Structures are given as structure tokens and as C-alpha cells.
């Protein structure tokens, strides 16, 4: 639920005229990078095989988003 709330917050901020497209892109990029960092931190602390597969799948999706958003 937390990632959903942060995405909603970013989208709400991006709708205001005070923010340009670049500001929104930077905010979305920072959010994706933070989520990647969180998952990598969890992976360093140890995990089961099932958790590892979930982490790898999430990382794959997030890294694809990062490559599109963070240019």
C-alpha cells in the first residue's frame, strides 16, 4: 500500500502548475531509485528462495522503469 500512496503523491504534485515536466520526471525517478535501494537492502540482509524470486522480479520491473524515467 505504501508504494501506491507515494505514486499517488507524486501524481498529485505533478498536476499542480508549479511543477514542470522535468520536476515530475525527477520525482518519479527518485521514487523508483528509492524502491530499488530498499529491495537491494532487504536482499543484503538475507532471504528465502521464494522471497529472492519476488525480489528479483520486482527489481527487474523497477530497473526497466528506471531506464525509461531516469535519462
| 25-46 confidence digits (pLDDT tens) | 888 999 999 999 999 999 999 8
Which helix (H) or strand (E) is 5 found in, with range? Answer: helix 2-15
User: Containing domain of residue 42, as a range?
Assistant: 2-69
d(CA 67, CA 51): 24
> What pTM did the predictor assign?
0.69
The pLDDT-based confidence of 3 (bands split at 50, 70, 90) is low
Tell me which long-range contacts 1-7 makes (C-beta under 8 A, separation of at least 24): 3/35, 6/31, 7/31
d(CA 64, CA 67): 5
d(CA 7, CA 32): 10
Residue 53 has pLDDT above 90, yes or no: yes
* Structural domain total, the chain: 1
Residue 9 has pLDDT above 80, yes or no: no
Amino acid at each position: 500500500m505504501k508504494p501506491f500512496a507515494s505514486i499517488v503523491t507524486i501524481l498529485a504534485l505533478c498536476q499542480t502548475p508549479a511543477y514542470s515536466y522535468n520536476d515530475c520526471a525527477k520525482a518519479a525517478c527518485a521514487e523508483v531509485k528509492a524502491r530499488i535501494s530498499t529491495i537491494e537492502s532487504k536482499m543484503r540482509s538475507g532471504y528465502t528462495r521464494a522471497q529472492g524470486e519476488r525480489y528479483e522480479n520486482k527489481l527487474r520491473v523497477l530497473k526497466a522503469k528506471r531506464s525509461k524515467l531516469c535519462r
